[in-house]
Amino acid sequence: METKWLEDFIALAETRSFSRAAQQRHVTQPAFSRRIQSLEAWAGIDLVDRSSYPTRLTPAGESFHAQALEMVAALQSTRNLMRSHQAVGQDVLEFALPHTLSFTFFPHWLMSLRPQLGMLKTRLHALNVHDAVLRLTEGSCDLLMAYHHPSQPLELASDRYDMLSLGSETLAPYARAGADGQPLLRLPALPGAAVPFLGYAPGAYMARLVDVILKGAQPTPLLEKVYETDIAEGLKAMALEGHGLAFLPASSVRRELEDRLLVPAADPGRLELTMDIRVYRTRPAGNRQGKPLAAALWDFLARQRARAGMEQSPA
């Protein structure tokens, strides 16, 4: 048996829905269903009554739910006990971030903390969004940093995870500048003309946000994808060489805009989208207290956010 099956089953018992539980566990519904079936095969009995809706547990499932809660709590408690014996690493903050934020926002943000907090020791795990979220939910990092947009929210339960907003970011199209300082490629293009497009790989978080932008555009731009990758830095490198137009976070092209190597490929306010930059942690509770250094950083960020809110409020 895999321990993640227990957490899957607990999520199903709490939500009473295969689809909501799969979203909470960040897996597809078919994969989630297979994992529940594997757990039932291990137990040797049906744990879920599939004859009714909303989903109900069988009597055996109700008994197993109580046992699963105890097993997961015991495993977590054992893990925390083992970590308490490890002195090394208590002064190191572990972050999980999507690749784009690790290149753009994180270095500048970390430096901005130094005047108040001094030099922080950090370990960075740069991953895709799905795997970065798993790092947090599995307890393999102290803090998760990620983009947020209402059309593509992260399904993290508010009773288990805390969240703070660190600012915002704009996603917009950019292209290489010509000798006259104007973009070599521009949207909207001439009628019937397809624009070479540098796109994110299907399934990437940024790809879904670009789709939101394009679906809301009137008229819909005619784009011809000539290159794709799941990393914004890869698209920027191709755009700098003039291979096509790319939608990039503003922080990733700050220097290129100053040097007039890249320029906006659309009029201000058009074909762009604003995202939140958020940081998450597992809410301290019982045996889930986390590192004291992570708690101190969180408290500092919360106070910083509260002061910013007060300054923006009307007198």
**Beta bridge partner(s), residue 173:** 247
Q: Is there a single domain that holds both residue 140 and residue 280?
A: yes
* Structure token pair of residue 99: 């690749």
CA 60 to chain centre: 36
Q: Is there a single domain that holds both residue 63 and residue 176?
A: no
For 26-49, write each residue's pLDDT tens digit.
Answer: 788 888 999 999 999 999 999 998
Across the chain, mean pLDDT equals 88
* CB of 206 closer than 8 Å to CB of 246: no
**Beta bridge partner(s), residue 48:** 57
CATH label of the domain that carries residue 34: 1.10.10.10
Q: Is there a single domain that holds both residue 141 and residue 59?
A: no
Average pLDDT over residues 154-158: 84
**Beta bridge partner(s), residue 300:** none
Q: Among the three residues 60, 84, 108, which one is the final residue of a domain in this structure?
A: 84
Q: Among the three residues 39, 62, 84, which one is the final residue of a domain in this structure?
A: 84
Q: Is there a single domain that holds both residue 56 and residue 125?
A: no
Q: Is there a single domain that holds both residue 8 and residue 136?
A: no
Q: Is 228 left (phi over 0), alpha (psi -120 to 50) or beta?
A: beta
Q: Is there a single domain that holds both residue 129 and residue 74?
A: no
Domain hosting 74: range is 3-84
| H helix runs in the chain, sequence order | 3-15, 18-24, 29-43, 59-84, 99-103, 105-117, 129-137, 205-215, 232-240, 254-258, 292-312
Q: Is there a single domain that holds both residue 66 and residue 13?
A: yes
Q: Is there a single domain that holds both residue 42 and residue 111?
A: no
Angle CA(82)–CA(88)–CA(94) in degrees, nearest 5?
90
Q: Is there a single domain that holds both residue 159 and residue 243?
A: yes
Q: Is there a single domain that holds both residue 10 and residue 148?
A: no
Identify the pLDDT of residue 81. Answer: 64
> Which range (85-89, 113-117, 200-204, 280-284) has the least confidence?
85-89
Nearest to 95 by CA among 82, 80, 113, 79: 113
CATH label of the domain that carries residue 172: 3.40.190.290
Q: Is there a single domain that holds both residue 91 and residue 45?
A: no
Identify the pLDDT of residue 26. Answer: 79
- Cβ contacts of residue 67 below 8 Å, gap of 6+? none
The number of domains in the chain is: 2
DSSP 270: S
Q: Among the three residues 84, 113, 133, which one is the final residue of a domain in this structure?
A: 84
Half-sphere exposure of 270 (CA within 13 A, CB side): 13
Q: Is there a single domain that holds both residue 111 and residue 204?
A: yes
Residue 248 phi/psi, 5-degree rounding, is -135, 150
pTM above 0.75, yes or no: no
For 128-142, write each residue's pLDDT tens digit.
Answer: 888 888 889 888 899
Identify the pLDDT of residue 27. Answer: 81
